[in-house]
Amino acid sequence: MGWSILVADDDPMIRSLLRIMLETANHTVFEAQNGQDAIKKVHEIHPDAMILNIRMPEMDGYSVCHELRHNKETAVLPILILSGQAHLTAVNKGLLAGANRYLTKPMSRTILLQNLDEVLNEQANNFPN
């Protein structure tokens, strides 16, 4: 059984690539093209997890993550940041904003799916139905 994943990235090529990676692993994929769109879609769709870019128009990924963590409806949503920013300051800022994982581009499908499965399984174990 797959999970529902919201991919938030302003680059349509990255969203398409992630869609292919995730759909071939039987996940359902939704897309957001900027930070504001991501916040809106999280509340509309209620995805099982989110893959979030940092540099996006209207609202950056740090702000999206921070806002979701400070809303009780979305506070425990598993969030993986996927960014081209690999420096320690960016990683720390992402984790402090509340991301479960911080992954850097480029990265393999295997690493993405492994990290996604780990955070979703941690979530399921911490909050069973």
- Could you report the per-residue pLDDT of 9-63, keeping only the tens digit for each? 999 999 999 999 999 999 999 999 999 999 999 999 999 999 999 999 889 999 9
How many domains does the chain contain in total? 1
Q: Which CATH number belongs to the domain containing residue 113 in this structure?
A: 3.40.50.2300
Taking residues 77-92, what's their average pLDDT?
Answer: 94
Flag whether pLDDT at 1 surpasses 80. no
pLDDT, residue 7, reads 98
pLDDT, residue 129, reads 53
| Spatial distance between the Cα atoms of 20 and 42, rounded to a whole number of angstroms | 20
Q: Which residue has the higher pLDDT, 122 or 52?
A: 52
Between helix 61-69 and helix 35-45 the angle, nearest 10°, is 30
Structural domain range at position 20: 4-126
The secondary structure element, H or E, covering residue 86 is none
CB distance 66 to 98 below 8 Å: yes
